[in-house]
Structure formats: C-alpha cells, structure tokens
Structure 1
Amino acid sequence: MKRVMLFVLTNIAVLLVLSVSANILLNVLGVQQLPGGLNLTALLIFAAVLGFGGSFISLAMSKWLAKRMTGATVIDQPRNSTEQWLVETVRHHARQAGIGMPEVAVYDAPDVNAFATGMKRDHAMVAVSTGLLQTMNKDEAEAVLGHEITHVANGDMITLALLQGVLNTFVIVLSRVVGYFVDRVLLKSDRDSVGIGYFVSTIVAQIVLGILASMIVMWFSRRREFRADAGGAKLAGREKMISALERLKALHEPTQLPNQMAAFGITGKPGGGFMRLFMSHPPLEERIAALKQAP
C-alpha cells in the first residue's frame, strides 16, 4: 500500500503545484483562452507535457521520498544474520526474475509491511519493516519479498506512471474546460482574459477530477496485486505465499480501524461499497482464494 499511496499523493501534490504555476504561463502563451474560445489543441499538448511530467517527476522522486517518509536505511553491509539473509533472498529472487539487484532497506515500524519502488527495473528498492522481520517466519518473509520483486519485474511503477500521466492529461484539460464554462457561461464574463471565477473553478475541478482519477489508479493497483501474488508464489512457492497472506489476515483482522481509514488498511477490508473504490489492495481473502484456485 505504501508504494501506491506515496506515488499517488506525491503526484497530486506535484501536479497541483505545476498547474497553479502554469496558469500564468498559459495566459502568456495564449493557450488558456483566445477571444473566440479555448485553444483546445494547444491546451491538449500543454496538458500532456504537464501531466506526464508530473507523473514521471513523482516516479523519479519515489525512492528518495520513500526513504525520507519511512526512515528506511539501505543495507550497504549486512550487520547480522537477518540482514545477510534478507540481502541474499532479494538477490536470489532478482536473479530468478531477470532484473538487476535492487537496493535492500529496512525501516523501523511495528506494522508488518514491505514495499518496492523505483523508476527503473534494474535500479529499484525493496524495503521491509522491522515488524515484518520480527513477526513472520523466513518462508513467509521470502514469499513477501518475491511479491515485491515481482512488482519490480512487471514494471508496475512505470506502468502506473504512464497511466497516471494519461489521467493527469485529461484532468488538466477537463478542469480548464470546466473553468472556461463557469467563467463564460455561468458568470457570463465577456473579457478577453479569464477572471477569478475561472481560476477558482479550475482548481476545484482539478481536485475533484483528480480524486476520480485516483479511483482508476487504485483499480489498476488491485489488479496488479493479484499478478504480484502469483509471481511471489512462483518465486518462493505457492504454499509460502498463501501462508504469508494468511498470516497478514490473522494479524490484521482483529484490528478495528475507523470507518474513514478501513479502506486503506493492508487487509483491504472495505468500509463500504463506495470506499472499496479507494482500496489499493484487494481484500486478503480474495487474494488467498485466487492463489488456491490457480492451476
């Protein structure tokens, strides 16, 4: 969950900053509005540059940001047998998956979690929490590492960035169309330059459309989790992967999260029909069933 949420939140922040800064530039270039209406062709080109730029800036920042936000420490030289096992297991999985050796990091947190991030398949990072190392046995941890390595091997972060770039482009274009409609049709502005109503409605529309776009990103993330589970089962063994998911289910089922946060828990337990749309991971019982039913 950390991998996806860090990327989505960073993307939203970067895109908002770039969009607000770009409004002045758009006016100067005549892209925002012409006396006869919107210059949609120029706006689409500019939106694509801005949208994909924001997405790939977020991706480029992902490893640095993950380290800063989690306090993860990269293992340059293993200090004990646990770190030695961790590095060697990641190396083994990476070799089997046909990717370069990722950075291996540990961050101090009681929750049982792990994530992979990075802009390139051969220059990624896999991080695990101290809670995972203390709670899971080696077979279960090996399966979790296989799951994360599969995310890297499948290029999930790069594919996510491309999807986010497309969505960003449409969010930017549509939000400005909404702003133009509010300024010219509802507020009946007849100026050659846009007014305050345009800017306010554009930012509001961009936030709302960005939230809707995040639902598509979360749907994509849920689909890729099933593939990563299958990859973890291939690298470490199906029984180990099932055991790891069952351990997570047993650990987190007793925890009663507030309704506002239930959809974001690692168990993937929905807080309601609508809130399920914001889940980055499918419910654990669905993931376990998919592995058991796989040929």
Structure 2
Amino acid sequence: MNLVRTAMLLAFMTALFMGVGYLIGGTGGMTIAFVVAAGMNLFSYWNADKMVLRMHRAREVDARSAPEFHGMVRELARSAGLPMPRVYVIDNPQPNAFATGRNPQNAAVAATTGLLDRLSYEEVAGVMAHELAHVQNRDTLTMTITATLAGAIAMLGNFALFFGGGRNGNNPLGFVGVLVAIIVAPLAAMLVQMAISRTREYAADRRGAEICGNPLWLADALRKIAGGGRQVVNEDAERNPATAHMFIINPLSGQRMDGLFSTHPATENRVAALEAMAAEAAAPAAG
C-alpha cells in the first residue's frame, strides 16, 4: 500500500512540475520539465537522503564518537526489529530530529545537539523511537523525495519571474501563467507536504511509543521540543523550508498552528493522544 501511495505521489509531483514547465515555456517547457522531473525522481531515490543530510550539515557518529546516543539507537532498532540505521548529529541548538533513507536497510536518523543537550535520556529515546517508526512505516522515502521535488517546484516557480513573462509565444497564458507558476504551484507542493506529514506523524507517535515502551517519554519530549523550537531559529531549515515536514516538530519559525498551513499536527493534540495511549495501557494494570 505504501508503494502505491509513493507512486501516486511521485506521479502528482511530476505532473505539477510539468505544469509549471508548461506555464513557463509552453509545450517545449513541459517536455523539458518532464525530462528533468524523471531524472530528479531517479536521482532522489538513490541520493535524496544524502542531500537532506548535507543540507543540514549532519555528521555521522558511531559507537566511539557518541557511545550513549549510538547505543540507544541500536537498542531501539533491535526492539523495533529493524536493521541498525546510520546515526547522525546536527550541530544546531534547536532541539529536533528526523529520519531519512529509501528503505529500512538504507536508513539514517539524525538528532540536533540541542535535542541531545536539552532532553533526558528517556525523552531522547522517545524521539528516536518516533523516527525509527517512520523508517519502519516506510515514510522516509516518500518524505525525502517530496522534500526534493517540492524544493525544485518552488525554484522553478522563481525562474518564472525571469523567463516566463515574455511575449515570445512560449508562455501560453502570459502574465497569468507566470503568477500561477510563482504562487499556485509551490503552494500545491506545500499542501502535499503537509498532508503527508500531518497524517503520518500520529502513526509514528503511536508506533514510536510502542518501540520505546512508554508513551509519556515521547509526550514529554514533544513539549520540550515545541518550546525550544519557538525560542531557537534553525537557520539551515529556514534556508531549506521544503525539508520542514521531515522533522519531528516543524523547525520553521511561526509555524505552530494546527491549521491548513501547518506541516505538523498541533503539539497539544499529539501529546493528548500519547497521554490517552498511556492511560489505556495503565488501565488493565490498575484493574
């Protein structure tokens, strides 16, 4: 089912990319956009994880350079029945984390120094279990490729400012087409990102709580991360907003609403769901 959803997503994003090409350069522009999109889909499948890690200047760590963190991820992966992912640390004071990779055999998890410094061992374990849940649910390929294509669509929309407004006959809709390319196409790509992230975060929260063994670890972590995210600007994320949906909490400033333009569900709603899960688990014991 995930494979079908991923294929449908890639088809939609490719069609959107081609549509922007058509608005900029007519049939020729659409053809070029199709070739570029096909190449990007293939390239993203194999390399998007490396690109995202590089965007956020993540450095790989091992059992010698980060024994506690690396050991934690190893134990959580074993608990989840997953292969050991590559482990990265991002030198950034904002507490946050994400997972990437085309499949569980080629996955990577990354946490910021802000997360490792500000949260307790149990809270970090809750966060990394959430990220491993994304790996197990095979969300990482979809989320990573979407980030790559959404960024490309936004960039192509910007190109329309310079190449789409001429009266040389290549642009079939003239200035209206330019406006659509600049505003509507990137917005549509952003809405797809939001739909992907928002529907999958709750599932990853629940599975992550099962992996780490205590829903309240993740609930407490989400509260702290949300507070830290509002206080610390993540400059790398601000420069690469198309990757925002990959993080456990939106890393962009001013994005905490549970409305149409939020890439994540409201933290309060996620915490409430985890607390309800903990209460359900405690009820049989109490009885």
Report the TM range for the smaller structure's normalisation: 0.5 to 0.7
The aligned amino acid for 1:145 is: M
1:194 shift after superposition:
4.6
1:241 matched to 2:227: no
Amino acid at match of 1:156: D
Given that 1:121 and 1:152 are in contact with CA atoms closer than 8 Å, whether structure 2 keeps it comes out as yes
Q: CA shift at 1:196, angstroms?
A: 4.4
Partner of residue 57, structure 1: 43
- Match status 1:206 vs 2:156: no
Kept in 1: contact 2:229–2:251 (CA 8 A): no
Calculate the TM-score normalised by the size of structure 2.
Answer: 0.65
For residue 122 of structure 1, give the secondary structure of its aligned residue in structure 2: helix
CA distance in 2, matches of 1:102, 1:120: 10
**Pairing 1:108-187 to 2, within 5 Å after superposition:** 108-160=91-143
> Which position in structure 2 is the counterpart of 1:228?
204
Distance across 2 between alignment mates of 1:286 and 1:64: 32
Structure having the higher Rg: 1
Give the partner amino acid of 2:112: S
Match of 2:10 in 1: none
Deviation, structure 1 residue 61: 3.2
CA positional deviation for 1:115: 1.0
CA distance in 2, matches of 1:164, 1:110: 23
Q: Which has the higher contact order (CA 8 A, sep 6+)?
A: 2
Instruction: Report SS of the residue matched to 1:111.
Output: coil
1:111 to 1:256, Cα distance in 2 relative to 1, 3 A? closer
**2:221 counterpart letter in structure 1:** A
SS in 2 for 1:278: coil
Whether 1:71 and 2:48 are equivalent positions in the alignment is no
Q: Is the deviation greater in 142-151 or in 53-62? A: 53-62
Q: TM-score normalized by structure 1?
A: 0.64
Given residue 48 of structure 2, which amino acid in structure 1 is its aligned partner?
A: S
* Most deviating of 98-107 and 203-212: 203-212
Q: Distance in 2 between matches of 1:291 and 1:249?
A: 15
Give ranges in structure 2 of 5+ residues lacking alignment: 1-12, 158-164, 242-249, 281-287
Shift of 1:162: 7.8
Pairwise CA RMSD: 4.3
Deviation at 1:56, TM superposition (A): 4.8
Please say if 1:293 is aligned against 2:276. yes
Count of matched residue positions in the alignment of Structure 1 and Structure 2: 237
Which of the residues 83, 88, 94 maps onto 2:71? 88
- Stretches of structure 1 that go unaligned for 5 or more consecutive residues are 1-10, 33-42, 176-182, 184-188
CA pair 76-122 structure 1, distance change in 2 beyond 3 A: same
SS of the residue aligned with 1:277?
A: coil
Q: Percent identity?
A: 28
Q: 2:150 & 2:52 partners in 1: Cα distance?
A: 23
- In 2: Cα distance, 1:268 partner to 1:125 partner: 26
Q: How far apart, CA to CA, are the structure 1 residues paired with 2:139 and 2:70?
A: 22
